[in-house]
Structure 1
Amino acid sequence: MTHVAGTEHDPRRAGMVERQLRRRGISDERVLAAMARVPREAFVPPELAGVAYDDAALPIGEAQTISQPFIVATMCELLELEGSEHVLDVGTGSGYAAAVLDELAGSVVSIERIPALAARARRALELTGHRRVELRVGDGSLGVADRAPFDAIAVAAATDRVPPALLEQLILGGRMVLPRGGRRGQRLVRIVQTAGGPVETASLACRFVPLVEG
């Protein structure tokens, strides 16, 4: 777990955790603590730093967004991380979710298809002390085979079908969370890899950019 020096008691972040997360049903104390430690303002464009803790997704360039804090927290809670897991983060984007996962897991590999976003995310992760995150540039739908298998996978892009490569890289008993659907409607789903095949459970409605494959 990474501790970012000097960021634990930011009043804006504490307010976000209380009002946007705890009061809306996020109950995993490890997730709440991780969200309280990661400075979201470091992962948005400088001109948006003043609204970094708004209950909203924000643009980060390249037609991409940083997810609202509640969605990031929900995905992390659904992964049920205890601290030792090897996690794959598909769709690095700003790097914010990777930073939160770094607080919650043993190791994190994050993959982003847009080089410019990956470069910015790498700088933000280094700035906030999350240097352990291994950041790759590539097709996230293919996972990261040379670092597999993973205990948990978080996918920050919507798809109608679960990419087979991601299921293959998930251990037995592992959890994957991703937005299922298209532009007309999406829901976060939790998939557990079992001996009988993947078991899927739907969670809340959401809106993500589409997963680009190939």
Structure 2
Amino acid sequence: MTINYAQARENMVEQQIRPWDVLDARVLDTLATLPREAFVPPAHSALAYADLELPLGHGQKMMKPVIEGRTLQALDLQAGEDVLEIGTGSGFLTACLADLGREVVSLELHPELAALARGNLDAAGLGSNVRIETADAMSWTTDRQFDVVCVTAAVDVLPEAFLAWVRPGGRLFVIRGRSPAMEAILVHNEAGGARIESLFETDDATYLTGAAPVPQFVF
């Protein structure tokens, strides 16, 4: 069976993403244009535009398309802005961020996924403005700050270091909390301190390695 990916892409935008109040024209155009199927493991290519998380290996998953859409809309990325992405995964959201912004530095803990993402971007002719680093975000250090920090996996508690990477006037997206009440937030780095904007609730998020809740032992 031959899949009409162009039609599947249009259906994803019109039947999944737009109905979930993703109305930003630039975001919709990016999602309607970039070939998501090129970033999905071959075994799941038929599900590239389904309303599902997809496994990538190493316990990591691709976000649902609707979560990707809401993330991109919340960040409101402008053409001249630089992005730090924490968790490259397959490279699809990386490609979206690169399409909307100026430059993306993306951190991926697992060397195999970092190589996969780079290969996916190159094969699709995308990501010339993307630098992927194999690094553990929980211990990574840099003096650089970014307009946007996008955390693609959940955290129980947001590490302070992540906020330090956000420029004054910049913003950070992350899903935080514990199942079944996890919350996507946008943190604005304002002059008076961090302002947290609640975006939506979800229970569809894998924890960032090293940022999961500590198990509670009950005696």
Given the two structures, how large is their TM-score scaled by the length of structure 2?
0.88
**Separation in structure 1 between the aligned mates of residue 45 and residue 120 of structure 2, nearest angstrom:** 13
Letter in 1 for 2:56: I
Letter in 2 for 1:119: A
Q: How much does 1:15 deviate?
A: 1.2
**Separation in structure 1 between the aligned mates of residue 151 and residue 18 of structure 2, nearest angstrom:** 23
CA contact (8 A) 1:142 1:166 kept: no
CA contact (8 A) 2:173 2:187 kept: yes
Letter in 2 for 1:43: F
Q: Which residue of 1 aligns with 2:192?
A: 196
CA contact (8 A) 1:141 1:211 kept: no
Letter in 2 for 1:133: V
The 3 A distance-change label for structure 1 pair 204 and 89 is same
Q: Aligned match of 1:92 in 69, 88, 91? A: 88
**Higher CA-based Rg:** 2
Q: Which residue of 1 aligns with 2:183?
A: 187
- Which piece of structure 1 moves more, 136-145 or 105-114? 136-145
Give the secondary-structure state (helix, strand or coil) at the position aligned to 1:140: coil
CA contact (8 A) 2:183 2:198 kept: yes
Q: Which residue of 1 aligns with 2:61?
A: 65
Q: Which residue of 2 aligns with 1:4?
A: none
**Separation in structure 2 between the aligned mates of residue 152 and residue 186 of structure 1, nearest angstrom:** 21
Q: Which residue of 2 aligns with 1:38?
A: 34
Alignment map for 1:5-154 (pairs within 5 Å): 10-129=6-125, 130-142=127-139, 145=142, 148-154=144-150
Q: Tell me the number of residue pairs that the alignment of Structure 1 and Structure 2 aligns.
A: 205
The 3 A distance-change label for structure 1 pair 106 and 127 is same
**Separation in structure 2 between the aligned mates of residue 140 and residue 73 of structure 1, nearest angstrom:** 23
Give the secondary-structure state (helix, strand or coil) at the position aligned to 2:112: helix
Q: Does 1:163 align with 2:159?
A: yes
Given the two structures, how large is their TM-score scaled by the length of structure 1?
0.90
CA contact (8 A) 2:51 2:64 kept: yes
Q: How much does 1:21 deviate?
A: 1.1
**Separation in structure 1 between the aligned mates of residue 163 and residue 192 of structure 2, nearest angstrom:** 13
Q: How much does 1:78 deviate?
A: 0.6
The 3 A distance-change label for structure 1 pair 177 and 143 is farther
**Separation in structure 1 between the aligned mates of residue 140 and residue 73 of structure 2, nearest angstrom:** 21
Structure 2, unaligned runs of 5 or more: 212-219
Q: How much does 1:144 deviate?
A: 5.5
**Separation in structure 2 between the aligned mates of residue 47 and residue 160 of structure 1, nearest angstrom:** 31
CA contact (8 A) 1:178 1:188 kept: yes
CA RMSD of aligned residues (A): 1.6
Q: How much does 1:89 deviate?
A: 0.7
